[in-house]
Chain A
Amino acid sequence: MARRRAGILSLAVAGTLALSACGSGGASTAPASNPAEATGTLRVLVPSYPASNEGKAALDKVVASFNAKYPKVTVEPDFATFDTLNQKISTSIAGGQGYDVLVTGIGWVPPFAAKNVFEDLSSFGATADSLGKSTDPALVPASEFKGKVYALPLIAAPKPLALRKSLFEKAGLDPTKPPTTMDELKADAEKLTVKDAAGNITQAGFDFWAGPGGYRQDFVALLGSLGKPLYDGDGNPQFAGAEGTQTLEWMKSMVNNVQKYGAQNAAKSPLVNTGEAAMGFTGGYIDCSDKGVGKATCDDLVYFNLKDKDGSMFTGGQLASVGKSSKLKSAAWDFIQELSKPEAESGIAALNFAVPAGKDSAGSEIVKSNPASTFVAANLGDAKFEGGAANWLELRGTFGTSLDDALLGKKPVEDTLKALEQQSK
């Protein structure tokens, strides 16, 4: 009998130990009013910095500057990637160990603001006007939700259009006059498409730089050239009207005409950079050294944006927010201030092949280093973003596959956009 009681007791103790081991760590502590006296651990989720020696060295500089003001606060970085960001954020919330600082992408602010994951930065005096004094004004809307600021933009990662001068000249077109509307783009693309005897496209007239399910960002850029954003400032969908239909019909007429659906090279790099396409979407950074595409290719590229009713350039990027559940909110705010300083932003931009979000980014080394970055920095006023709805993170996967349904003719364009509009509400 005594042995049975001992067995049951030992099982109970083991169970209690296991439960307590699963309990939350509670790393953050309440702040002191004086930063120098604040203690605790600041958990920062930073996909901006790769988990490499360069990434860690760049973050260490930011941490050192932060620790000059908060010497007793330990910074605990989480070098997540954008692929794992959602899992990290959701499991940290579910586990009761939310991050103090979160760096996310453009389009992520409304969903996380709506779910009370991000702190309203007006409590630190941040407004759209104050943000516009230090950040490029074109990027400010990406940090807002229902009129309040929830993030500080750090970098912008635009996707401009580019053409190959040599291929334009070969087709009898003038590379100094890039197309400005979708109609002009299509007309030029059809002249630039080269096919073999079997009818396979060997040189795409226009590259969407998109695999299956990846045409969403192109849609945003093209819709923007007709003067429509994906969502308005109140999160209402703007893509299901006449402009959206026109854009998607146009894309459908281009797919399997000037480029095979989902065509990508093995490296998934922009085909206009490799010469496999005469025109197309490309990145906001290009390496013109011998290790990259080389000077000859760089000189052969001309960057442009469509300007039908409005200049348009799809722009992604990264923004930093304070976690709503943070117990070190002031320290977190000061940390993201450190991240948004020009030197730190330039470091992040260099690591991510993007441009700094600061107002004076035109003078930064990364922007001056290559023609793509110089172009996008000078044209950030054309920036068009994806997202804007509170359920964008849930919707964006469906958005991509739904566009494919229309592009491949499986569903009518109008029905596709109407269904997406319904899901947005």
Chain B
Amino acid sequence: MRAAGAAHARAARPEGRKSRLTRNQSRAGWLLLSPALLHSTFFLAVPAVVAIFLSFTDYDFSGTWKLIGTENYVELFQDPRFQAALRNTIAYTLVVVPLSMALALLIALGLNLKIRGLGFFRTVYYLPVVTATVAAASVWLWIYHPSAGLANAVGSLFGLARSEWLNDPGTALPALMAVGIWQGLGAKMIVYLAALQGVSKELLEAANLDGANRWQVFRNVIWPALGPAHYFVLITAIVQTFQVFDLVFVMTKGGPVNSTTVLTFDIYNNAFEGLRLGYASAETVIMLILIAVFIYLGGRSQRNTQDGQ
């Protein structure tokens, strides 16, 4: 009787009206989400909107400002320091992201095997991630010192000529890239390691039974299974490389001759050295658009790769 009544009530309910349980769940979800939403609204969304607005003004902390349309954007694209920062940031991203992903995957493949000292190696590779960037950069400054540093000392053992490293416009950015790759390896390696341990053992067995060699197993079983991990690592790596700041600030201050100036550092200089917050905001908007473009392109390439499997 009761069941029939409940069924009748369900049948009588108009389409689209949620059940009480669904409404309660929805309310609970919003309540649990509200602290993060409030945080994101006040500390991310509102500043982002303000930054976009400021990018169309000449605000410079002097108390008086006016709307100037797209003047900041026009000036930016004519600014040689912005051009250098843009080139360097894109170059840094194009080199560091794929190299660090490839190296991290290689290391993860190695650590996925049953070798001695596994815990030790996992710790060693993860240590750079938990080391403060400023501390790591200070050590690398010593490594790269032209006369007293480890890099030239080791290089001289192999007969390599002394390099000026961070003092040479030709080698400064590659030197920073090396540090960026080293520092980002651990986090990517952990993600890949977790993904590798989720690869289907039945599929691996089946491939081995079919006579596939190691490369074929990797290409046809492991690589496709790592698709979601690739996507996550790619997106986070792109965002991290675009946000590189402390390495540049500690090690080179954008020099020599702007060869290591990146967008974040130029934004910092324009905002806090030049006191031109409107101009710096315009540069920030451009950087955000660039990040979005890179993420879109990266995501597309991942989807194309997976569709092609």
A residues adjacent to B (C-beta < 8 A): 3-4, 7, 11, 14-15, 18-19, 22, 86-87, 90, 93-94, 111, 114-117, 200, 211-213, 260-263, 265-266, 391, 393-394, 396-398, 400-401, 404-405, 408, 410
Contact = CB atoms under 8 A, between A and B. Distances in A.
A266 B145 contact: yes
B274 A262 contact: no
Contacts of A115: 60-63, 275
B257 A401 contact: yes
B273 A262 contact: no
Given A7-B30, A111-B275, A212-B252, 10 more contacts: A4-B27, A11-B34, A18-B38, A86-B272, A86-B275, A94-B277, A213-B253, A260-B146, A408-B169, A410-B169
**B: contact size bracket:** 35 or more
Given A212-B167, A266-B148, A393 B273 contact: yes
B61 A93 contact: yes
B169 A90 contact: no
B276 interface: yes
B255 A401 contact: yes
B38 A14 contact: yes
19 contacts: A3-B27, A7-B27, A11-B34, A18-B42, A19-B42, A86-B272, A93-B63, A111-B275, A212-B167, A212-B255, A213-B256, A260-B167, A262-B164, A391-B274, A397-B274, A401-B81, A404-B255, A405-B257, A408-B256
Contacts of A87: 272
B221 to A, nearest CB: 49
Nearest to A93: B61
Q: Which DSSP category, helix, strand, loop or mixed, fits chain A's interface?
A: helix
A86 B255 CA distance: 20
B60, B148, B162: which has the most chain A beta carbons within 10 Å?
B60
Nearest to A406: B257
A262 B167 CA distance: 6
B258 interface: yes
A274 to B, nearest CB: 12
Nearest to B258: A401
Q: Which 7 A-B pairs have the closest CB atoms?
A: A394-B274, A212-B256, A115-B62, A262-B167, A213-B255, A212-B255, A87-B272
A394 B271 CA distance: 9
Contacts of A260: 146, 164, 167
A114, A116, A398 — most chain B CB neighbours (10 Å): A398
Most A Cβ at <10 Å: residue of B148, B252, B273: B273
A394 B167 contact: no
A86 B276 CA distance: 12
B275 A90 contact: yes
A178 to B, nearest CB: 27
A266 B140 CA distance: 12
Interface string B264-287: 000001111111110000000000
B146 A212 contact: no
A265 B270 CA distance: 30
Nearest to A266: B148
A116 B63 contact: yes
A198 to B, nearest CB: 8
Interface in B9-63: 27, 30-31, 34, 38, 42, 60-63
